[in-house]
Chain A
């Protein structure tokens, strides 16, 4: 059996691009290294075009990697997200980061990891992709090496990340030990054929969930997130909150949909508990934050709670204890839509924060006072993204939240939805506090903030995407529908 390696063209190309940038870094003069970012951006754009043109369905290595509409959606997502994060880090890197080539090279490796995660259909492949993502991020988080906070967060992230990886690995070995397979589809088959769940198997799954919970920063595995977010260089914070989260969600979604749906009655309660805790702690924790990075860290924990809520509602348990997957597609739609909307919105928020930081070097919330006078455009984007995160129309955050909550409600979990909406009301308070700083408070400094044209374009695109995602979502939903159907078939 020959493998059709053309399926992997985008991944090969991204790897090549990363190496190209790393090796260019050796040869070009210090001054010209500022152009490396554009090599990356143009490279990713070309790869994006190739991915769109050459896409075919298929599997590789006897099903270790699966390429379907789901993979493709996330591939496109990561390529676009990568372009956004590269462009928005340009100025920041120019003034704050010494080793530019390595920064961009490693960043592109994490993009690759995200693409692989969405296509991996086997536990070890998934684990390796996850490690590729994590290792890249360990380095990037500590990249601002003369900054104590960056160092601290690097160490914290490495230690806890390694711990969670160990948990995942231990979980996987337990699962393999009992079931004799690590492939998602075979796990699913094995699980339907056995009657009682072996305690080691349960232990394995619990460890696996806990490890993935670390990566998703689900409560009670969330404590690293605020510190790491605060210490990391800003573009990396953005990438942590978007890239790594979406990558993990794309893996979790495939894992649950392809192998765990049948035993939904066993894990539903666990995920519900995680989701409730995550929603509550994330949103309550954000209330008291003074630093915008920490605030956004807690806010993204809260948002992961909503995603987990969706995961827990992938199946509904009938009264006789049997599992119904009638509405699964609807819920998957909801989760993917929510993740994409979250990514767009969070990017918009972070990129505007980056633009402010590039000018002022400050990132506490009170430094945003009077921003509407200093840069009406930045404050417009930031306030729109705050409203979107809080789930107010006409932004993507509202529509996606409504869709997801509606789907969860359709699985007879209306009480969970009610709790979700209440926590989203709590979140409105702290999002409004930022709006208040920008529009109502008077700032000490009134010098206008200069925004570079590349960031301006990125923000414009994100703002439009936020509004289209909220006001005209059906084209996006059509794509998502294809992806969900691919996942469930």
Chain B
């Protein structure tokens, strides 16, 4: 993994995913390890994403690295019309690794081709967000003890959510049964379903969330956005059918964990927050350990 860019989740093998999760486990035990004191981490956010940026900067700081960068392009040369290519080549001269978020699809792959230092993709448009996928995998492994033989439900917008697509792809490396709960308009794209089939896993589609709750180990909630519907009436019809309330969890397995990539709007009622099954805030905390692990693995330093 040393010096390898992380652009798409598939850039790293199943074994490399496991190594990152093993590293993250070590960081969870010993979060502060000054193993990157000699390193400069650049965080280039061509569009704002407070959560992802703070999580990366927190990870880098706990490792003792210096962090440089910008949180939105407004005050930079990008605004003057500098090309992405030139920005990346320049910043690569100032840093040992670049974390970038950019509104255009494919921008991270292109950056990895012009940069002399490795790139970590922190989201390129609607395309990929591999560090989110790795923290989701880590959260599942940690709460269920393994990534194998699980029943995982995805709920909400399965059509446009890149988080869902990447996680489904990555989980196809494990023995997973997928339960896909969405309104008709927002079903998982057939290309992703093909991938499940090609890997000989099962998937089941539902429109009623109550049908899956008693049977699953993970309930991965996502937000349904009004603007995804061409007819506003269709949105009104479904908007309340995919909201999780504490009372709905009565028949669930005690080991069920509820995940969400955050930010949450109203798709998980706040009365769920006190349930021992609510896991979304811990999931976000895991993001720091996983990002520490990714930085350490790519920079090739020893983790204690």
Do A and B originate from a single complex? Answer: no
